[in-house]
Chain A
Amino acid sequence: MKTTTPAVMRQKWWTAWMYLAPALALLIIFVLFPTLRTVYLSLRSSDTTQWASEQCRAGETCWGLLENYRQALTTDQATTALQNTALWLVVMVPGTVILGLLFAVLTDRVRYESLAKSIIFAPMAISFVGASIIWRFVYNPDPDIGSLNALLGVIGIGPQTWLATDPPFNSMLLIVVGMWVWTGFTMTIISAALKGIPTEIIEASRVDGANEWQVFTHVMLPQLVPTLAVVGTTMTINTLKIFDIVWVMKGIKTDVLATRMISELYLFRNNGLSAALAVILIILIIPVMYYNIRQFNIQEAAR
């Protein structure tokens, strides 16, 4: 905050608060208060009338006040959700970053760059529900409807019921959808950073006899590392929160944290467990977000 207010702009003490009040009120009601309340609810029973520890039964494992967290971390359904979330992270984050980098570098060299980028970016504009429909159509088991089966039919592979395949393969198919949507995002940001690299450096290394691959690995990549870190962490957060694709495509055991949480809330009315899952989510997000903001500031300062 570099600006200091000059004398002519002095105001009564309540002027600023008048401008702030509406936004602050909504922030308190919809963000701050519910966040704290979720933490509290995560320690309460499913109908929130008593403490979670009072649901413990003698002779069964119970974490007392943290009983909801035990359920969120150790039951079968929960571990499936955690495993799938981990799978999403491991595949989707590097996947989108590498693909985005590839697109950014490739499209940088062609004249129809903006058209190509628009095509890759367009899935970002549509809803995840729309994207899920598009891909359910692609994955349709009937080779006269689903283009994937039709395509594989050409090389002699019979039709598969893709979305009914066993985990974790079915989750991989959903991750493909996620990557199709998010690669446009990573590409746009990486591409902007790529354009920021001074052309003199690149030209100079070419004159020095470096081939394109060496220019990429030795000149471009080191310059891009801070951006890749920001994009990677942003994608980590986005992936942790992924909901719509999994919710709409509905495979067998494809649950992730967010869908598990909504199922507990919406279908089973289990407020406590749902809140515990939300807290787990934010606990996973905070360190990534901290790193993300720090990297972003470093990158901004370097400009």
Chain B
Amino acid sequence: MNRVLRERLISIINRIPLHVAVIGLCLIWILPTLGLLITSFRPQQAVNETGWWEVVKSQEPTSTAYQTYCTDCHGANLSAVPSIDLGASDVVSGFTNTRRLAVTFNREYNGAVHIPEDQRPDDESLREILDYLRIESGAIKMPPRFTVNNYKDVMVGYDARGGTYDQACEEEGPTPTRSCDFWEDATRSDAIFKGVLNSFAVSIPSTILPILLAGFAAYAFAWLDFRGRKVMFALLVGLQIVPLQMTLVPVFRLYADLGLNGSFLGVWLFHTGFGLPYAIYLMRNFIAGLPREIVESAYLDGAGHWRVFRVIIMPLALPAIAALSIFQFMWVWNDLLVALIFLGNKAPVLTYQLSQLMDSLGGGWHRMTAAAFISMAIPLAVFLLFQRYFVRGLLSGSVKG
């Protein structure tokens, strides 16, 4: 018994380095994202003053400095001197900054200087005392540790320095660029919410179209006979080589002639064209692998091609369709290049808005991080929900333009 226990213990100890390595690497991988997430929920001032890793630290102002310099006269409860009650918020409000507080040290008190020169607190302690007094007396409220204001601000595209959308609406009311109706403001073109809508408007048709068309083509390649079938399929597989960059210039010029630059239709078609080689390749391989007997008996029962395609092939191909949809959706949602070239600021999608925010730093990191997280939430959710299909799609090989 003892021996068994010892051996188990040894094997556990032997495995410690392994766990340290795995967990350590996972931490390295997750920390940058975690920092972003935490920051996006912190109030602006906190973001500018302390790093996100300090969010776990206590925010309570420390009373050490107060105890050192003031407790003897004012008492631990701040109210020992009735004429100057430091526990009263109107008294403390008079100290608008540390200098105001320091000035009182020169005043006469019981025939002597309030605090002699050589005993005065240094600047840092002074700051600490003032913070402590302010919070304790209720002169100012403790800022919340977390807030959703950053998300609200970016959703409506509010990027003024300092303040929040809610504050601005409360204090200044509507302006020509701000109606203060949340959903109305959220659909203006520089609002991130509008970017979310645009991203969906681009991604959903750009996912359905190529898969539908690839389904038709894959059916033909797998079950129909026509001249040049092999050659065409080989050519198609070859087209996967073509990088997106290769076709941008001519398509951009073609769209300029047709007036399609800046239109959703243009982007849908482009993504469809580019999604097709891989989609057809994957679908053909899947459909050709379906059991022959099912399809043949359907023909014998007198079903036509269209019926077989609709009622038998497509439902059976659902696993492939699922994998493809997830891939294509995330690819399009995360794409910057195509959106940059063909939509730009005419219908800004999320990735484009983010890259623009990045250039201007969009009113600070507190909002930048919130905007970034909104853009990540959807693909991350899709990935976590459909991880299985995603990995299967990856393993079926090949790369995408």
Contacts and interface: CB of A to CB of B under 8 A. Distances in A.
Interface stretch (A25-33, A58-66, A75-83): A25-33
Interface in B187-226: 213-214, 216-217, 219-220, 222-226
Most buried by A among B15, B30, B249, B276: B249
Interface in A267-303: 271, 274-275, 277-279, 281-282, 285-286, 289, 292-293, 296, 300
A282 B238 CA distance: 12
Contact of B226 (A17, A35, A130, A265): A17
Contacts of A282: 241-243, 246
Interface stretch (B61-69, B133-141, B168-176, B365-373): B365-373
A215 interface: no
A74 interface: no
B369 A137 contact: yes
B274 A30 contact: yes
Interface stretch (A165-173, A198-206, A240-248): A240-248
Contacts of A16: 220, 224-226, 229
B5 interface: no
Interface string A241-269: 10110011010000000100110011000
Nearest to A193: B395
Contacts of B236: 27
A8 B301 CA distance: 10
A1 B240 CA distance: 19
A37 interface: yes
Contacts of A138: 32, 35
A188 B35 CA distance: 25
A189 B216 contact: no
Contacts, number: 295
A234 interface: yes
Contact of A127 (B249, B336, B369): B336
Q: Chain A binding site: helix, strand, loop or mixed by DSSP?
A: helix
A107 interface: yes
Interface residues of B, number: 105
A19 interface: yes
A150 B51 contact: yes
Interface residues of A, number: 102
A35 B296 contact: no
Interface stretch (B78-86, B101-109, B158-166, B374-382): B374-382
Interface string A126-137: 111110111111
A3 B222 contact: yes
B351 to A, nearest CB: 5
A236 to B, nearest CB: 10
Nearest to A48: B253
A7 to B, nearest CB: 10
Contact of A144 (B50, B225, B241, B335): B50
Most buried by A among B230, B246, B365, B368: B246
A261 B245 contact: yes
Given A22-B216, A278-B245, A281-B245, A133 B250 contact: no
B148 interface: no
Given A9-B223, A11-B224, A265 B248 contact: yes
B70 interface: no
A23 interface: yes
Interface of A: 1-6, 8-11, 13, 15-17, 19-20, 22-24, 26-27, 29-35, 37-38, 41, 48, 103, 106-107, 109-110, 112, 116, 118-130, 132-138, 140, 143-147, 150, 180, 185, 188-189, 192, 230, 234, 237-238, 240-241, 243-244, 247-248, 250, 258, 261-262, 265-266, 271, 274-275, 277-279, 281-282, 285-286, 289, 292-293, 296, 300
Given A30-B251, A110-B19, A143-B51, 9 more contacts: A1-B229, A8-B300, A107-B22, A119-B30, A125-B376, A137-B368, A192-B391, A248-B336, A265-B248
- The 9 closest A-B CB pairs, nearest first, are A30-B273, A127-B334, A34-B247, A125-B383, A16-B226, A34-B250, A19-B220, A23-B217, A37-B250
26 contacts: A3-B223, A11-B224, A20-B226, A22-B213, A26-B273, A30-B272, A31-B276, A34-B248, A34-B251, A35-B246, A38-B247, A41-B250, A109-B15, A122-B29, A124-B383, A128-B336, A130-B375, A136-B358, A137-B368, A140-B365, A188-B395, A189-B395, A238-B399, A265-B248, A278-B249, A282-B246
Interface of B: 15, 18-19, 21-22, 25-26, 29-33, 35-36, 39, 47-53, 213-214, 216-217, 219-220, 222-226, 229-230, 232-233, 236-237, 239-254, 269-270, 272-274, 276-277, 280, 288, 292, 295-296, 299-300, 305, 309, 330, 333-337, 340-341, 350-351, 354-355, 358-359, 365, 368-369, 372, 375-376, 379-380, 382-384, 387, 390-391, 394-395, 397-399, 401
